A and B are shown apart, each in its own frame.
Chain A
Amino acid sequence: MKKVIANWGNYPAMESDERLFSYDDQLQDIIRNSPTFIPRGNGRCYGDASLAGETLNTLKYDKILSFDTENGIFECQSGLTLDQILEVVVPKGWFLPVTPGTKFITVGGAIGSDVHGKNHHVDGTFGQHVVDMDIILADSSMITCSPSVYPDLFEATCGGMGLTGMITRIKFKLKKVPSSYIKQKQLKAANLDELIRLFEEYKHYTYSMAWIDCLQKGKSFGRGIMTIGEFAKPEELNESQRKAPLALPKKKAITIPFNFPSWILNTFTVKAFNFLYYNKNVNKEINNVVTYEPFFYPLDALLHWNRCYGKKGFVQYQFVLPLAAKEGLVDILRRIGAKGMGSFLVVLKVFGKQEDNLISFPFEGFTLALDFPVRKGLFEFLDELDAVVLKYGGRLYMSKDARMKPEMLKAGYPRLEEFKSIVRKYNPDGKIRSVQSDRLELTK
């Protein structure tokens, strides 16, 4: 049925004929009869990656096919969301190998964006844990691919934004965990230099990320809080936690009921928020044991938090710069401060090495993610930031993108032509295409 859809940033929004399916035969019928389409899961990419005039929504295609509780091998259909996987695997002592900051994404989406998490420097991206998967191609034939079978298709599908075909079945490896709790450490850093030093000092921790106050100047420039952690061993749990070390966290969430007026977000409110957020940690260092929920998914407790940005929506801007380009990070944060384009949720992380990367976003270096409400002058400003990112040898994350120019993608991804030729091989007439793939000239 035709309806107006948008992804998480609520920008852009467009009318789309959204098709749902539960069974393989329905899916193959739809693909055979559709002139063009793009696969779509829970709509948690931020921009226009899963938007098109016709979308194939996988949310009803969400069955668990097998779960080897001995060896931690999980197999499911592509529309299953990570939160449902956690409910099944955590009580058996397993966890997702890699998880982004929300559990409300589908497995198909996790592969299409080749998502990363707080453990990228140790465990890489989601795609690296996939054993094999089935993909229905544009001509409605099905191929099973893995790192060794149809490796070109496999590689171009991890991070390929759904352009190679419709992923139907995925088998991947889980991570063994001693409990469902995290022993976490929060460290306050007075400025950017200290923050970067902390990442170096604590790089042996499996999970790490930092929040940055992007509106500070002078000696507090780039101050923030780094959060690191490990899954807690049973002996590190308190008495009540120890009774059920693999317990699922209690479900509690608040829903943001409507779009906030856009004037609510301004330099003043962002400064006030950042002040409170930074100073809520009175001590320089806090150590505690928490469930995995607030550690991995703090914002999932606030359903529809994207409504805070008003009905015009927002753009998330995430880039990565090489480790040697620390001054690029400084340059970009300075420009944001100078423009007063502050953002609440500025997240810094240091990526580890990513071998043989075709189209996935991460490479070794600093990655920063910022939210900007859509307003006058924003797109010009982001074009200006693009130039800085390129100057320092960086690139942008397509999952967050709603506006970059094709040249920016080309300059950032050295193997882009190879990716395009694989897409052409399996999707020769551009039957599978999105607003983003047309904008970035991947399917034109």
Chain B
Amino acid sequence: MPTVLILGAASDMAVAIAKKYASKGFNVQLAARNPSRLQALQSDLNIRYNINCTLHEFDALNYESHQAFFDRLAPKPDQTICVFGYLGDNETARTNWSESAKIIHTNYTGAVSILNVVSNYYASQKSGIIVGISSVAGERGRQSNYLYGSAKAGFTAYLSGLRNRMFHENVHVASIQPGFVYTAMTANMKLPPLLTAKPEDVANTVFKAATKKKNTVYVKWFWRWIMLIIKSVPEFMFKKLKL
């Protein structure tokens, strides 16, 4: 049975992704800061899907631990899904460096650190699949969430560069661009129902992107077009908008 590693396994999106892979017969390695929290999810996946689910301690911000974390995994995962992220509070972050740093390091630095480790291993094996969950927020900076957006922009660029390098190593890298998703992260926002995906939609997109070797996938197709329009607004106009 193939194995999938899910980095940042406590979130709603990660739970949906874990269920999707388990339902397809994958053994699942759940990695999170506080793995004991995930014991219920572990038994749930084992019982429902008759697979082997294991829990692993992982802290995206503890870069030094990443190599050892990956070395300890047995078996090594066939696929790695990088789900963790931190929206943070843009307003607080403007004047509070530790909030800014947390946003940047969770969404960008931490992701780069662990995926460097994973991709080097996959390159040595000449096989493997990496899926990164980035965000449409990374496609153009907006006043309401430019710290999160800029970190995700960095992550998107990292993934596309990594995809280019790994193509020559027979390793596939997929970037997922969710728009709005109903999750705990967005529980207090009023989201337009037509434009908002469910965590299960993200999970289906992830699985499809990995299996069909897609490069950049938007969770709901029209987000590609929405972002195209947003990106084509000239900067002298865009800066006047309140977005």
- Whether A63 pairs with B43 at a CB distance below 8 angstroms is yes
- Of A20, A63, A87, A88, the contact of B40 (CB 8 Å cutoff): A63
Contact-residue size bin, chain B (C-beta under 8 Å from the other chain)? 10 to 19
- Whether B184 pairs with A20 at a CB distance below 8 angstroms is yes
- Whether B12 pairs with A64 at a CB distance below 8 angstroms is no
- Whether B47 pairs with A88 at a CB distance below 8 angstroms is yes
- Whether B48 pairs with A88 at a CB distance below 8 angstroms is yes
Specify which chain A residues have a CB less than 8 angstroms from the CB of B37 in the assembled complex: 23-25
- Whether A22 pairs with B187 at a CB distance below 8 angstroms is no
- Whether B184 pairs with A67 at a CB distance below 8 angstroms is no
- Whether B10 pairs with A23 at a CB distance below 8 angstroms is yes
| A77 in contact with B40 given A23-B10, A64-B47, A64-B48 (CB within 8 Å) | yes
Specify which chain A residues have a CB less than 8 angstroms from the CB of B111 in the assembled complex: none
Q: Is the interface of A mostly helix, strand, loop or mixed?
A: mixed
Q: How many residues of A contact B (CB 8 A)?
A: 15
- Whether B43 pairs with A64 at a CB distance below 8 angstroms is yes
Whether A65 is near chain B, meaning CB under 8 Å from some CB there, is: yes
- Whether B190 pairs with A1 at a CB distance below 8 angstroms is yes
- Whether B187 pairs with A20 at a CB distance below 8 angstroms is yes
B20 to chain A, nearest CB (A): 15
A1 to B193, CA, bound (A): 14
- Whether A60 pairs with B41 at a CB distance below 8 angstroms is no
Whether A66 is near chain B, meaning CB under 8 Å from some CB there, is: yes
A63 to B42, CA, bound (A): 9
- Whether B15 pairs with A22 at a CB distance below 8 angstroms is yes
Instruction: Tell me the residues in window 58-84 of chain A with beta carbons closer than 8 Å to chain B beta carbons.
Output: 60, 63-67, 77
Specify which chain A residues have a CB less than 8 angstroms from the CB of B12 in the assembled complex: 22, 60
B230 to chain A, nearest CB (A): 25
Beta-carbon contacts of B179-194 to A below 8 Å, as 1s and 0s? Answer: 0000010011110000
Whether B91 is near chain A, meaning CB under 8 Å from some CB there, is: no
Specify which chain B residues have a CB less than 8 angstroms from the CB of A20 in the assembled complex: 184, 187
Residue with the highest number of chain B CB atoms closer than 10 Å, among A23, A25, A67: A23
A65 to B40, CA, bound (A): 6
- Whether A22 pairs with B47 at a CB distance below 8 angstroms is no
A24 to B36, CA, bound (A): 11
- Whether B43 pairs with A1 at a CB distance below 8 angstroms is no
Instruction: Tell me the residues in window 69-123 of chain A with beta carbons closer than 8 Å to chain B beta carbons.
Output: 77, 87-88
| A63 in contact with B44 given A22-B15, A23-B10 (CB within 8 Å) | yes
B175 to chain A, nearest CB (A): 26
Specify which chain A residues have a CB less than 8 angstroms from the CB of B47 in the assembled complex: 64, 66-67, 88
Specify which chain B residues have a CB less than 8 angstroms from the CB of A25 in the assembled complex: 37
A341 to chain B, nearest CB (A): 36
Specify which chain A residues have a CB less than 8 angstroms from the CB of B187 in the assembled complex: 1, 20
Beta-carbon contacts of A401-430 to B below 8 Å, as 1s and 0s? Answer: 000000000000000000000000000000
A88 to B187, CA, bound (A): 30
Q: Which residue of A lies closest to B190 (CB)?
A: A1
Residue with the highest number of chain B CB atoms closer than 10 Å, among A23, A63, A66, A87: A63
Specify which chain B residues have a CB less than 8 angstroms from the CB of A88 in the assembled complex: 47-48
- Whether B44 pairs with A64 at a CB distance below 8 angstroms is yes
A419 to B86, CA, bound (A): 46
Specify which chain B residues have a CB less than 8 angstroms from the CB of A23 in the assembled complex: 10, 37
A55 to B169, CA, bound (A): 52
A63 to B37, CA, bound (A): 12
- Whether B188 pairs with A1 at a CB distance below 8 angstroms is yes
A63 to B190, CA, bound (A): 28
A64 to B37, CA, bound (A): 14
A67 to B187, CA, bound (A): 32
Specify which chain B residues have a CB less than 8 angstroms from the CB of A22 in the assembled complex: 10, 12, 15, 184
Beta-carbon contacts of B15-33 to A below 8 Å, as 1s and 0s? Answer: 1000000000000000000
Considering the complex of A and B, which 8 residue pairs feature the smallest CB-CB distances, nearest first?
A63-B40, A63-B44, A64-B44, A64-B47, A67-B47, A23-B37, A65-B43, A1-B188
Taking Cβ atoms with an 8 Å cutoff, the residues of B that contact A are 10, 12, 15, 37, 40-41, 43-44, 47-48, 184, 187-190
14 A-B interface contacts by CB (under 8 A): A20-B187, A22-B10, A22-B15, A22-B184, A25-B37, A63-B40, A64-B47, A64-B48, A65-B40, A65-B43, A65-B44, A66-B47, A67-B47, A88-B47
